[in-house]
């Protein structure tokens, strides 16, 4: 299943607008992603403009042939900007409005995964800051805003005494909180490109849990790609991620976060439809393991967007 995607060796120069930044909590990471993408596309001979949509009232540069979405978080990943671009009739990278909306909502994602037979962690949803500890549950648990990305607002609760304070902190980021059993095991991420799973990346924080700080602090986390797993375990994790992505209607590319239990069984956590695109981000790492350079990865994403627009999807 791990084959190099068929990115065209010849490049037809295009006028591409890279949208990055935006109004979300992940603005700074998005700016870095977009700057890296823009630089890579320019090396291939494209004319590249950059657009930072800090409000919904933006205008694309005249002559834009395709938009490369390097936005993260709310507005960029929840289907909003995708719907605006659909209205304008401009091709764009990533998933469509409905897939984006579903994948950005962790509860809707879990519901789709469950319907497709994809294993996912036990969960419940809490909306009140005074909600009691979930009856019948034992610590540790993980608290996540239902609609945020990039580990924003993530809290690990090791003791029930810490529940109330952690819950109040997470509710600052969304009106609904996902309470999830904490799955012990190895943390993996599975990139998917053009309907094919890429080599697994294993995420190993040097200490503590893989939260926002570990994700964006240089040297805080070790990444192993390809992950040191046997072929059968690798295939199970890839298939679970691919099935989850299809369950939310995904097509072009994404990154799926997976926990691997001690018995080798994968558990899908969530789906990121616009994963980080700095040159050291995890999807580019996985593509590089197959020999696909960063610039060629960006080019392939553009080609997928144009193919999808041609098919009217």
Which of 199, 282, 181 shows the shortest CA–CA distance to 237? 199
2 is a catalytic site residue: no
272 is a catalytic site residue: yes
Q: Match domain 123-181 to its CATH number in 3.40.50.300, 3.40.50.720, 3.30.1490.20, 2.60.40.420.
A: 3.30.1490.20
Q: Which residues contact 161 (CB under 8 A, 6 or more apart)?
A: none
Q: Which residues contact 1 (CB under 8 A, 6 or more apart)?
A: 196, 197, 235, 238
Q: Please state which CATH number belongs to domain 102-119+184-288.
A: 3.30.470.20
94 is a catalytic site residue: no
Long-range contacts of 291-299 (CB under 8 A, 24+ apart): 291/4, 292/4, 292/5, 292/7, 294/36, 294/40, 295/40, 295/41, 295/43, 295/44, 296/7, 297/7, 297/193, 298/37, 298/40, 298/41, 298/44, 298/68, 299/7, 299/8, 299/11, 299/41, 299/44
Contact of 91 with 308, CB cutoff 8 Å: yes
The strand pairing partners of 144, in sequence order, are: 178
Q: What is the pLDDT of residue 1?
A: 45
Q: From the candidates 270, 281, 296, 308, give the one annotated as an active-site residue.
A: 270
Which residues of the chain form CATH 3.30.470.20?
Answer: 102-119+184-288
Q: Match domain 15-94+292-311 to its CATH number in 1.20.120.80, 3.40.190.10, 3.60.20.10, 3.40.50.20.
A: 3.40.50.20
270 is a catalytic site residue: yes
Which residues of the chain form CATH 3.40.50.20?
Answer: 15-94+292-311
Which of 22, 93, 88 shows the shortest CA–CA distance to 254? 93
250 is a catalytic site residue: no
Q: Which residues contact 152 (CB under 8 A, 6 or more apart)?
A: 25, 26, 73, 145, 173, 212
Q: What is the pLDDT of residue 151?
A: 77
Would you tell me how many other CB atoms lie within 10 Å of the CB of residue 206? Answer: 10
Q: What is the pLDDT along the chain (313 residues), one digit of tens a residue?
A: 455 544 556 889 999 999 999 999 899 999 999 999 999 999 999 999 999 999 989 999 999 999 999 999 999 999 999 999 999 999 999 999 999 999 999 999 999 999 999 999 999 999 999 999 999 999 999 999 999 876 789 999 999 999 999 999 999 999 999 999 999 999 999 999 999 999 999 999 875 555 554 455 556 689 999 999 999 999 999 999 999 999 999 989 999 999 999 999 999 999 999 999 998 899 999 999 999 999 999 999 999 999 999 987 6
The residue count of the chain comes to 313
Q: From the candidates 30, 153, 276, 308, give the one annotated as an active-site residue.
A: 276
216 is a catalytic site residue: yes
């Amino acid at each position: 299943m791990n084959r190099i995607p068929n990115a065209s060796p010849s490049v037809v120069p295009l006028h591409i607008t890279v949208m990055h930044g935006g109004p979300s909590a992940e603005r700074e990471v998005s700016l870095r992603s977009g700057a890296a993408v823009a630089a890579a596309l320019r090396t291939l001979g494209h004319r590249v403009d950059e657009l930072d949509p800090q409000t919904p009232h933006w205008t694309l540069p005249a002559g834009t042939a395709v938009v490369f979405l390097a936005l993260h978080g709310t507005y960029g990943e929840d289907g909003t900007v995708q719907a605006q671009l659909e209205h304008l009739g401009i091709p764009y990278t990533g998933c469509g409005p409905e897939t984006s909306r579903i994948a950005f909502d962790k509860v809707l994602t879990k519901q789709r995964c469950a319907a497709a037979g994809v294993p996912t962690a036990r969960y419940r949803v809490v909306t009140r800051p005074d909600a009691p500890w979930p009856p019948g549950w034992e610590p540790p648990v993980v608290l996540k805003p239902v609609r945020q990305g990039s580990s924003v607002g993530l809290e690990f609760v090791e003791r029930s005494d810490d529940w109330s304070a952690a819950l109040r902190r997470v509710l600052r980021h969304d009106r609904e909180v996902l309470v999830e059993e904490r799955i012990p095991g190895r943390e993996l991420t599975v990139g998917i490109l053009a309907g094919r799973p890429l080599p697994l990346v294993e995420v190993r924080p040097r200490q503590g849990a893989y939260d926002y700080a570990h994700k964006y602090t240089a040297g805080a986390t070790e990444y192993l790609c390809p992950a040191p797993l046997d072929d059968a375990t690798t295939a199970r994790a890839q298939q679970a991620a691919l099935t989850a992505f299809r369950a939310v209607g995904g097509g072009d590319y994404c990154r799926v976060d997976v926990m691997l239990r001690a018995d080798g069984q994968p558990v899908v956590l969530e789906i990121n439809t616009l994963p980080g695109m700095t040159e050291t981000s995890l999807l580019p790492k996985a593509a590089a393991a197959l020999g696909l350079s960063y610039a060629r990865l960006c080019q392939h994403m553009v080609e997928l967007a144009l193919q999808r627009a041609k098919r009217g999807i």
